[in-house]
Amino acid sequence: MSHHHGHHATSDPHVHRDAHDDVPEGLPDLLDLDAEVLAEALEAVRTDIGRLVDSPVRSILDLGAGTGTGTFGLLRQFAGAHALAVDSSEEMLERLRRRAEQLGLRDRVSTLRADLDDSVPDIQPVDLAWASASLHHLVDPDRTLAGLVAAIRPGGLLAVVELSGFPRFVPVDTPGGAAEARAHALLAADRAVDMPTMGSDWGRRLTRLGLVVERDRPIVVDLMRPSAPVVGEYAAASLTRIRDAVADRLEPTDREELEALLDGGRSDVRRRGDLRVTTDRRLWIARRPAASTT
């Protein structure tokens, strides 16, 4: 689940720049790590979608596709489908195309560079639209969602995954834990100004647009002491971006403790055995009514 589209928001340490800027160093790798660590939760989301489709899925629209986590997962879920991956970053789309080649899926993926703050692409209606961690970046998400309804065929589905905050890793009562918590508090205050729709009720917005919400559930990830090395790499990549976003506003002691989580020493998250990956997201799956004339 990736943070990769919409307007520039400095309070999101994971989001890349808009279409005119370079993708921040390390962000594509972080998105891929996020998908690897949260693979089980993402698989459950795709299963939910599969249970609700009313006919074979032949066409998929991935809005804010990033490195293609959603695109490739859904293509595995729906073997006969073709996906259109949309993102504002050509660098992200190029990485997605290379990955499609590696997976033998290049003939099942098309890409389109577009900024959703301008408009939803004018395409033939699809069976399934997917938006993961992208809507909260939009300047006017209701306008974009209204355009998105027209991109879904009557009876088709829109699946939205959104988050209310960023993953946490270090127990608060261990070295560096309190510093990480205070860094997250700074980010939360920023988000209240820069991205006020993060954590909002997207189901209500979908309902106002005439869609019928058929699935609304939390995605709670709480991995206690995960042993896979990828978790340490994920923690390091995420905390590096968090540090870069708030370091100049942390107290010196907190800044030093946060640095110690990344400096290769004993407290480095890549060497610790007490990491705990926690993150709360939410899934909405909504249907465009078959009789809709929207």
Taking residues 10-22, report their average pLDDT. Answer: 42
Is the pLDDT at 15 greater than 70? The verdict is no
36 confidence band (pLDDT: 50, 70, 90)? very high
pLDDT-above-70 percentage for the chain: 91
Distant-in-sequence contacts of 208-213, Cβ < 8 A, 24+ apart: 208/142, 209/142, 209/145, 209/146, 209/149, 209/294, 210/149, 210/288, 210/289, 210/292, 210/294, 211/149, 211/158, 211/286, 211/287, 211/288, 211/289, 212/286, 212/287, 212/289, 213/284, 213/285, 213/286
Q: Residue 265 and residue 285: Cα distance in Å, rounded?
A: 44
Q: Which residues of 171-186 are buried (b: 16+ CB within 10 A; e: fewer)?
A: beeeebbbbbebbbeb
188 vs 100, residue with greater confidence: 100
Specify the pTM: 0.89
11 vs 109, residue with greater confidence: 109
Q: Are 65 and 92 in contact (CB under 8 A)?
A: yes
Within 10 angstroms of residue 222's Cβ, the number of other Cβ atoms is 9
Taking residues 126-150, report their average pLDDT. Answer: 91
Q: What is the mean pLDDT of the chain?
A: 89
Those residues with Cβ within 8 angstroms of residue 215's Cβ, 6 or more apart along the chain or in another chain: 48, 52, 283, 284, 285
Q: Residue 186 and residue 36: Cα distance in Å, rounded?
A: 27
Q: What is the pLDDT of residue 118?
A: 86
In sequence order, what are the beta bridge partners of 221? 279
Q: What DSSP designation does 1 have?
A: -
Domains of the chain: 27-166+196-222+279-287 (3.40.50.150)
132 confidence band (pLDDT: 50, 70, 90)? very high
In sequence order, what are the beta bridge partners of 110? 84
Taking residues 47-59, report their average pLDDT. Answer: 97
Is the pLDDT at 267 greater than 70? The verdict is yes
Within 10 angstroms of residue 156's Cβ, the number of other Cβ atoms is 25
Quick one: which of 65, 163, 58 has its CA closest to 114?
65
